[in-house]
Amino acid sequence: AQTVTQSQPEMSVQEAETVTLSCTYDTSESDYYLFWYKQPPSRQMILVIRQEAYKQQNATENRFSVNFQKAAKSFSLKISDSQLGDAAMYFCAYRAGNNRKLIWGLGTSLAVNP
C-alpha cells in the first residue's frame, strides 16, 4: 500500500528566510504524481506545487520549489523568502498514475515569525 510520511509536525521560519519541509513516500508504482498542498487556518486547501514522477527536473513555482529524489522516495518542499502569508498547514500528497484518489501525509504546521 502506498503511504506518505511527513516527519515534522511543526516548523518555524523567520520572515524572508528559507525553510524546507520533508516528505517521504512508499510505492511500488512507477507512474505517479506528488503534490504539496497548503491549508491556511480556517481556509480551503490549495495546491502549491506538483511533480510528475517521470520528470527528472524538480518543479518550481515562484518562491516554492521541490527536491524530488525518486530513488530515495523523498519529496521535500523549499520555501524561499518566507512571507507571513505562508503560515499554514502543508500537506504532501501522492497519486498513482492509474488512480484518482490522493493519499496524504499528516501535515506540517509552518509558523512564520516576523
Partner 1 sequence: DTGVSQDPRHKITKRGQNVTFRCDPISEHNRLYWYRQTLGQGPEFLTYFQNEAQLEKSRLLSDRFSAERPKGSFSTLEIQRTEQGDSAMYLCASSPSIGITYEQYFGPGTRLTVT
Least distance to partner 1, CB of residue 33, Å: 6
Residues 76/22, Cβ–Cβ less than 8 Å: yes
Specify burial of residue 43 (Cβ count, 10 A radius: 0-12, 13-18, 19+).
exposed
Which residue type, as a one-letter code, is found at position 18? Answer: T
Per CB under 8 A, does 55 bind partner 1?
Answer: no
What is the distance between the alpha carbons of residues 23 and 62, in angstroms, rounded to a whole number?
20
Nearer of residues 2 and 67 to partner 1, judged by Cβ: 2
Rounded to whole angstroms, the Cα distance separating 46 from 44 reads: 6
Query: Nearer Cβ to partner 1, position 13 or 103?
Result: 103
For residues 105 and 51, what is the distance between their CA atoms, to the nearest angstrom? 16
Q: Which stretch binds partner 1 (CB under 8 A): 11-19, 62-70, 74-82, 94-102?
A: 94-102
In the complex, the smallest distance separating the C-beta of residue 84 from partner 1, rounded to whole angstroms, is: 22
Q: Is 46 among the residues that bind partner 1 (CB under 8 A)?
A: yes
Q: How far is the CB of 56 from partner 1 (least distance, A)?
A: 16
Judged by the rule CB under 8 A, the positions of this chain that interact with partner 1 are: 4, 33, 37, 43-47, 50, 52, 91, 93, 95, 100-107
